[in-house]
């Protein structure tokens, strides 16, 4: 499962229901590139519980400005279209997991 590509035009639709973790990034941002594989892992790991999306701040200044994203990477968790919590800067995977686990329902065990 790959992260969803978010834009100014599809942002409201994509984040409107359930939990969505949004990675605000840019291609020239070194720390953004460092955490990119982690973001992809989270998309698979939380599939069905949390949607994971990436928003290129250079191409989508509307949403970036709306949420006052000043430094990247910034990750914001949205619930039903509203921001609930965010993190700034490259973090270890367990920090992102702790954020998601606080809001996401536990994975079904088989």
The predicted-structure confidence for 72-96, as pLDDT tens digits, reads as follows 999 999 999 999 999 999 999 999 9
The active-site residue, picked from 32, 55, 57, 69, is: 32
For this structure, is 24 an active site residue? no
pLDDT digits (tens, 9 = 90+) for 44-74: 999 999 999 999 999 999 999 999 999 999 9
For this structure, is 32 an active site residue? yes
Q: What is the pTM of this model?
A: 0.94
The residues near 86 (Cβ < 8 Å, ≥ 6 apart) are: 74, 75, 76, 77
């Amino acid at each position: 499962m790959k992260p969803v590509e978010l834009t100014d035009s599809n942002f409201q639709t994509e984040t409107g229901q359930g939990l969505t973790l949004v990675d605000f990034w840019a291609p020239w941002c070194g720390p953004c590139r460092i955490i990119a594989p982690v973001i992809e892992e989270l998309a698979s790991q939380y599939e069905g519980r949390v949607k994971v999306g990436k928003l290129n701040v250079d191409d989508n200044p509307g949403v970036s400005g709306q949420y006052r994203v000043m430094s990247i990477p910034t990750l914001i968790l949205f619930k039903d279209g509203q921001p609930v919590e965010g993190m700034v800067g490259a973090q270890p995977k367990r920090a992102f997991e702790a954020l998601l686990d606080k809001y996401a329902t536990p994975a079904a065990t088989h």
